[in-house]
Amino acid sequence: QVQLQESGPGLVKPSQTLSLTCTVSGGSVNSGSFYWSWVRQPAGKGLEWIGRVSTNGRTNYISSLKSRVTISLDTSKNQFSLKLTSVTAADTAVYYCAREPEGDYADYWGQGTLVTVSS
Protein backbone atom coordinates (compact mmCIF):
# COMPACT_ATOMS: atom_id res chain seq x y z
CA GLN A 1 0.00 0.00 0.00
CA VAL A 2 1.47 3.30 -1.10
CA GLN A 3 1.52 6.06 1.50
CA LEU A 4 2.50 9.70 1.16
CA GLN A 5 3.33 12.09 4.00
CA GLU A 6 3.94 15.82 3.74
CA SER A 7 6.36 17.59 6.06
CA GLY A 8 7.74 21.08 6.45
CA PRO A 9 7.29 24.35 8.31
CA GLY A 10 3.75 25.32 9.13
CA LEU A 11 4.57 29.03 9.21
CA VAL A 12 6.48 31.00 6.59
CA LYS A 13 7.13 34.72 6.54
CA PRO A 14 6.04 36.84 3.57
CA SER A 15 8.64 37.08 0.78
CA GLN A 16 10.40 33.94 2.01
CA THR A 17 10.46 30.46 0.45
CA LEU A 18 7.96 27.75 1.27
CA SER A 19 9.62 24.32 1.28
CA LEU A 20 7.74 21.07 1.68
CA THR A 21 8.74 17.44 1.34
CA CYS A 22 6.61 14.42 0.55
CA THR A 23 7.94 11.08 1.76
CA VAL A 24 6.70 8.05 -0.15
CA SER A 25 6.47 4.59 1.39
CA GLY A 26 5.28 1.35 -0.16
CA GLY A 27 6.68 2.31 -3.54
CA SER A 28 9.63 3.98 -5.22
CA VAL A 29 9.56 7.51 -6.65
CA ASN A 30 11.86 6.50 -9.50
CA SER A 31 10.13 3.36 -10.73
CA GLY A 32 7.10 2.91 -12.90
CA SER A 33 5.34 5.50 -15.02
CA PHE A 34 4.29 7.85 -12.26
CA TYR A 35 4.13 11.57 -11.77
CA TRP A 36 4.40 13.03 -8.28
CA SER A 37 2.32 16.12 -7.77
CA TRP A 38 1.37 18.93 -5.40
CA VAL A 39 -2.14 20.30 -4.93
CA ARG A 40 -3.19 23.08 -2.57
CA GLN A 41 -6.44 24.19 -1.00
CA PRO A 42 -7.00 27.53 0.76
CA ALA A 43 -9.33 27.31 3.72
CA GLY A 44 -12.93 26.89 2.60
CA LYS A 45 -12.01 26.90 -1.07
CA GLY A 46 -11.43 24.44 -3.89
CA LEU A 47 -8.47 22.42 -5.07
CA GLU A 48 -5.64 23.93 -7.12
CA TRP A 49 -3.15 21.70 -8.92
CA ILE A 50 0.31 23.25 -8.57
CA GLY A 51 2.50 20.95 -10.62
CA ARG A 52 4.29 17.63 -10.83
CA VAL A 53 7.52 15.79 -11.53
CA SER A 54 7.84 12.52 -13.41
CA THR A 55 10.04 9.57 -12.49
CA ASN A 56 12.57 10.79 -15.08
CA GLY A 57 12.55 14.33 -13.68
CA ARG A 58 10.30 16.06 -16.21
CA THR A 59 8.18 18.81 -14.67
CA ASN A 60 4.90 20.59 -15.39
CA TYR A 61 3.62 23.64 -13.50
CA ILE A 62 0.51 25.77 -13.41
CA SER A 63 1.13 28.99 -15.36
CA SER A 64 0.24 31.34 -12.51
CA LEU A 65 3.01 29.92 -10.29
CA LYS A 66 5.57 28.89 -12.90
CA SER A 67 8.02 31.71 -12.10
CA ARG A 68 8.04 30.84 -8.38
CA VAL A 69 7.72 27.06 -8.13
CA THR A 70 10.12 24.13 -8.33
CA ILE A 71 9.19 20.48 -7.84
CA SER A 72 11.96 17.91 -7.70
CA LEU A 73 12.74 14.30 -6.81
CA ASP A 74 15.18 13.02 -4.21
CA THR A 75 15.48 9.37 -5.14
CA SER A 76 18.02 8.62 -2.39
CA LYS A 77 15.42 9.47 0.24
CA ASN A 78 12.38 8.34 -1.77
CA GLN A 79 10.95 11.83 -1.53
CA PHE A 80 9.87 14.70 -3.71
CA SER A 81 9.71 18.33 -2.78
CA LEU A 82 7.99 21.63 -3.44
CA LYS A 83 9.66 25.01 -3.27
CA LEU A 84 7.63 28.18 -3.69
CA THR A 85 9.51 31.47 -3.56
CA SER A 86 8.40 34.98 -2.64
CA VAL A 87 5.30 33.84 -0.80
CA THR A 88 2.41 36.07 0.20
CA ALA A 89 -0.69 35.57 2.30
CA ALA A 90 -2.41 34.27 -0.82
CA ASP A 91 -0.19 31.18 -0.62
CA THR A 92 -1.69 30.19 2.74
CA ALA A 93 -3.32 26.82 2.20
CA VAL A 94 -3.34 23.12 2.97
CA TYR A 95 -0.77 21.54 0.67
CA TYR A 96 -1.26 17.95 -0.49
CA CYS A 97 1.15 15.67 -2.27
CA ALA A 98 -0.23 12.97 -4.56
CA ARG A 99 0.68 10.27 -7.06
CA GLU A 100 -0.53 10.33 -10.66
CA PRO A 101 -0.18 7.08 -12.64
CA GLU A 102 1.16 8.10 -16.06
CA GLY A 103 0.23 11.69 -15.30
CA ASP A 104 -3.45 10.93 -15.09
CA TYR A 105 -5.78 11.11 -12.04
CA ALA A 106 -4.38 11.20 -8.51
CA ASP A 107 -4.86 7.81 -6.90
CA TYR A 108 -2.92 8.27 -3.65
CA TRP A 109 -2.81 11.42 -1.53
CA GLY A 110 -1.02 12.57 1.58
CA GLN A 111 -3.04 13.81 4.53
CA GLY A 112 -2.12 17.41 3.79
CA THR A 113 -0.18 20.03 5.71
CA LEU A 114 -1.30 23.56 6.54
CA VAL A 115 1.12 26.29 5.62
CA THR A 116 0.38 29.78 6.87
CA VAL A 117 2.16 32.80 5.43
CA SER A 118 2.36 35.47 8.09
CA SER A 119 4.88 37.71 9.77
Partner 1 sequence: DIVMTQSPDSLAVSLGERATINCKSSQSVLHRSNNKNYLGWYKQKPGQPPKLLISWASTRESGVPERISGSGSGTDFTLTISSLQAEDVAVYYCQQYYSSPLTFGGGTMVEIK
Binding string to partner 1 for residues 92 to 111, with x set by CB under 8 A, is what? ----x-x-x--xxxxx-xxx
| Options 49, 55, 74, 83; binder of partner 1; rule CB under 8 A | 49
The least CB distance from residue 7 to partner 1, in Å, is 15
Let me know: does 39 contact 107? Beta carbons within 8 Å.
no
Three-state SS string over the chain comes to CCEEEEECCCEECCCCCEEEEEEEECCCCCCCCEEEEEEEECCCCCCEEEEEEECCCCEEECHHHCCCEEEEEECCCCEEEEEECCCCHHHCEEEEEEEEECCCCCCEECCCEEEEECC
- Using the rule CB under 8 A, give the single segment among 7-15, 25-33, 56-64, 69-77 that binds partner 1: 56-64
Q: Which residues pair with 109 in a beta bridge?
A: 98
Least gap, CB of 34 to partner 1 (angstroms): 13
To partner 1, the closest distance from the beta carbon of 50 in angstroms equals: 9
Count of residues near partner 1 by CB under 8 A: 24
- Tell me the closest approach of the beta carbon of residue 76 to partner 1, in angstroms: 26
Cβ of 97: how many Cβ atoms within 10 Å? 31
Point out which residues bind partner 1 (CB under 8 A). Answer: 37, 39, 46-49, 51-52, 60-63, 96, 98, 100, 103-107, 109-112
